[in-house]
Amino acid sequence: MHIPDGYLSPATCAALYGGAAPFWYVALRRVRTALHTRLVPRLSLLAAFCFVIMMFNLPLPGGTTGHAVGIGVAAVVLGPWAAMLAISIALTIQALFFGDGGITAIGANCFNMAIVGSLIAYGVYRAIARRAPLNSARRVVAAGIAGYAGINIAALCAAIEFGIQPALYRDAAGAPLYCPYPLHIAIPAMMIGHLTVAGIAELFVSAGVVAFLQQSDPAMLRSTSGVAENLQAASSPAKALRPLWLGLGTLMILTPIGILAGGAAWGEWVASDYANPAARQQIAASSFHQLPPAQVPKGLERLSAVWTAPFAQYAPPYIKSRAFGYLLCAMFGVGLVMVGSFGAGWLLRSQERAREQAAGS
């Protein structure tokens, strides 16, 4: 679901950056006014969780791969606005340093997963959970369904963006310039795997984390619950988050499992794959046996060279072991996400203090 450089036209990328910008602006304002001692650590934790969980690739029908995103967990724990920022931070780090998603497509990927996914997940969660007690089993079910709905609607958005490219952008000879597959292929190719595998993984991740929080620290679920139960955190803020940080560390250590699933995600093929006979057959097998163009689409080839990530495909060039390199990338990525999250929190707090000082003078 991470759209690479070259699969969307510059106009489409610009439109989706423009579509994401107002949501980022509102999210920053909402988070700034809600800053308190636990928000930034939570946002950092959830951003790191989303980064790590996306490294666990799962085999999908047709020989492609997919993964959970953490949309449901982020929306339930943080609310939709902070979740947008947490997931956007993770997606931006992935694109810049690991080539997981394109630089030109950061707006599109954030719009689909961070913005649309968070809003859908939060809306579904609130609709199903309603005013159920924080320890209710209905909240676990609601979180699972919310995650499932969020990731699938996000995948549908990506499929539509892929599928409209050949209808809108062709060269003088009529060949597609960007993504070569139209809507009637892009939508089912993306959705079958997400509805059957990746969405189910998201469902269990979301439900499992909420069930754990109900036992360990139900106060973390209060801000998005719509109920006014007078619960105290299980311990101090730092100690309350400690089990979650330990869980994140465990997932990080297990990330090499994520490379066991072979094959690229649908629509994430590199330009050289179009000239590789084996890769072409794999692309066709996952696209209802329709071969890709014989030549790399010109726009795709041009834009795919816009940015070369230093650790592309989570494979540091100086590490011989693929599994160890993948683990190092997980650790480095989590560190970058934490720096980005705490840095954003520091900046927002500084702006808020400056605003208060200006108002008081």
Give me the percent of the chain exceeding a pLDDT of 90.
78
Lowest mean pLDDT across 42-46, 224-228, 241-245, 333-337: 224-228
pLDDT at 217 over 90: no
Q: Cβ contacts of residue 286 below 8 Å, gap of 6+?
A: 62, 63, 64, 189, 263, 266
Compute the average pLDDT of residues 333-344: 90
Measured CA angle at 72 (ends 18, 203), to 5 deg? 130
227 neighbors 135 (Cβ within 8 angstroms): no
Residue 251 has pLDDT above 70, yes or no: yes
Task: Tell me the mean pLDDT in the region 328-338.
Answer: 95
Compare 241 and 9 and report the one with higher pLDDT: 9
pLDDT at 342: 84
Model confidence pLDDT, tens digit, residues 106-115: 999 999 999 9
Categorise residue 102: left if φ over 0, alpha if ψ from -120 to 50, beta otherwise. beta
In this structure, the number of other CB atoms found within 10 A of the CB of residue 222 comes to 16
Assess whether pLDDT exceeds 90 at residue 146: yes
Q: What is the rounded CA–CA span in Å between residue 336 and residue 93?
A: 7
> What pLDDT does 159 receive?
98
Length of the chain (residues):
361
165, burial (CB in 10 Å: exposed 0-12, middle 13-18, buried 19+): buried
The alpha-helical segments, DSSP class H, found in the chain are 10-33, 39-53, 71-78, 80-98, 106-109, 117-129, 137-168, 183-193, 199-216, 237-254, 277-285, 298-303, 322-360
- How many whole angstroms separate alpha carbon 46 and alpha carbon 73? 8
- The pTM is what? 0.94
Does position 73 have pLDDT exceeding 90, yes or no? yes
Q: What is the amino acid identity at position 97?
A: F
- Segment 244-265 shows an average pLDDT of 91
Check residue 230 and give its pLDDT: 58
Terminus-to-terminus CA distance in the chain, angstroms?
49
Half-sphere exposure of residue 116: CA atoms within 13 angstroms, side-chain side: 19
Lowest mean pLDDT among 46-60, 119-133, 160-174, 212-226: 212-226
CATH class as words, domain 10-360: mainly alpha
Which pairs with CB-CB distance under 8 Å and at least 24 residues apart come from 267-274? 267/3, 267/4, 267/7, 267/158, 267/162, 267/179, 267/181, 267/186, 267/189, 267/190, 268/2, 268/3, 268/4, 270/4, 270/304, 271/6, 271/296, 271/300, 271/301, 271/304
Tokens representing residue 237 in the block: 């803020």
pLDDT of 50 above 90 = yes
Angle at 257 between CA 52 and CA 268, to 5 degrees: 65
Task: Work out the number of other CB atoms within 10 angstroms of the CB of residue 177.
Answer: 20
Burial (CB count <10 Å: 0-12, 13-18, 19+), residue 238: exposed
pLDDT of residue 298: 96
Structure tokens at 60: 């999908």
Q: 47 falls in which pLDDT band (50, 70, 90)?
A: very high
What pLDDT score was predicted for residue 127? Answer: 96
Q: Where are the domains of the chain?
A: 10-360
pLDDT band at 39 (very low <50, low <70, confident <90, very high): confident
pLDDT class of 344 with cuts at 50, 70, 90: confident
Ranking 7-16, 28-37, 60-69, 165-174 by mean pLDDT, the lowest is: 28-37
Q: Kindly tell me if the per-residue pLDDT of 327 is higher than 80.
A: yes
Q: Is the pLDDT of residue 222 over 80?
A: yes
- Judged against a pLDDT cut of 70, whether residue 89 lies above it is answered with yes
Q: Is 261 helix (H, G, I), strand (E, B) or coil?
A: coil
State the average pLDDT over residues 141-148: 98
